[in-house]
A = this chain, B = another copy of it.
Amino acid sequence: MGNEQAEVFDRIEAFRRRRPRLNDDVVTLAHGAGGGASAALLEAVFLPAFGNDVLEAQTDAALLLLPSGERVAFSTDATVVTPLRFPHASLGHLAVNGTINDLAMVGARPLGLSAAFVVEEGFAVAELRDLVADMAEAAAAAGVTVVAGDTRVVDRGAADGVYVVTSGVGLVPPGRTIDAAAVQPDDVVLLSGTLGDHGMAVLLARGLLPPGLDIVSDTAPLHDLVETLLAAAPGTRWMRDATRGGLAAVGNQLARDAEVAVVLDGSRLPVRPQVAAACAALGVDPLHVANEGKLVAVVPPDQAGRALAALHGHPLGREAVRVGEIRSDPPGEVVLTSPTAPDRVLDLLEGSPLPRIG
């Protein structure tokens, strides 16, 4: 690079590393997509108003300390996916599994779920019954019960059929600490399976891909996989499920929270061939696509082998890979390496190529 080019590059880099800023007067689909715009809305609107340490931590679930010393995890998740049904699953499965996973990512075992429904006037009772049956199926499969609920009906046209908000309460066993602050250089980054399946399954259901492709949602409850992982690698530092914004968003959150560099090996990213083809055809990077049954874990190097073997022994972790490692520099960045191209910084997208996937 020449001097002038290098200077411009540095300016762009510095600009890019600013905290996200909200430049919009109205809410856009990007603000809900889990990328840079979502982060900006959070920083500009929600955190200043609700500001407290627990919320600022931006973990998947908040931890509440009881007088007994027990730690209760608490999370909430709105599901507004469209269409309501897609290959392998429906909004009902997503809503339940998503909340179980939010609890699992802080090491909690689920105690109970709540479900709030916002239903559009004129929505078919039979379709509602099917969604509720899917939720019940997902809850039963995970050994969790829905203990509280609420239903509101809005006018015709004032919802896309139905939106579901699930919240969850779980118990964190004594001694378990999942915290980005514990992440250290040389730690190993594991990914529990393939990327992009869920997002592409929804696009298939939207008719944006030709029918008949072998692409299905990966929605699954990850709490049992977490138990398996933590038994094999009790030193596990940190976990997060790679939902909205994909692995890129999770990596950036980790890099920022732990003030480390997350170095991902681009040659090791597992993507099913038909999903990869679909992503390529649509011009979407699978690193930015939402998954609904995949977790990223950071483990100490001396436990990485056992951790990976344990994941491989679980039905939801058979395709787990060692996908990268932690370095000290450049702090706050995700670096994607490739055997065939120069390293590149992997950013959050400003918006998302795929709105309303979850």
Contacts and interface: CB of A to CB of B under 8 A. Distances in A.
Interface stretch (A58-66, A261-269, A309-317): A58-66
Interface string A29-46: 111110000100110111
A111 interface: yes
A29 B120 CA distance: 8
A74 B119 contact: no
Contact of A25 (B50, B126, B165): B126
Nearest to A32: B153
A52 B114 CA distance: 13
Contact of A64 (B111, B132, B153): B111
B64 A147 contact: yes
A75 interface: yes
A136 interface: yes
A80 B151 CA distance: 10
Oligomeric state, in number of copies? 2
A48 to B, nearest CB: 9
A138 to B, nearest CB: 11
Interface of A: 22, 24-33, 38, 41-42, 44-46, 49-50, 52, 54-55, 61-62, 64, 66-70, 72, 74-80, 111-112, 114-126, 128-129, 132-133, 135-136, 139, 145-155, 157-160, 163, 165, 167, 169, 171, 355-356
A76 B165 contact: yes
A122 B24 CA distance: 10
Given A66-B72, A165-B165, 17 more contacts: A27-B124, A29-B153, A32-B153, A45-B125, A50-B145, A54-B147, A64-B112, A66-B66, A67-B70, A72-B72, A72-B169, A74-B112, A76-B150, A116-B167, A154-B160, A158-B159, A167-B167
Query: Which of A24, A49, A72 counts the most chain B CB atoms within 10 A?
Result: A49
A240 to B, nearest CB: 15
A163 B154 contact: yes
Contact of A136 (B49, B68, B117): B49
Nearest to A120: B27
A116 B32 contact: no
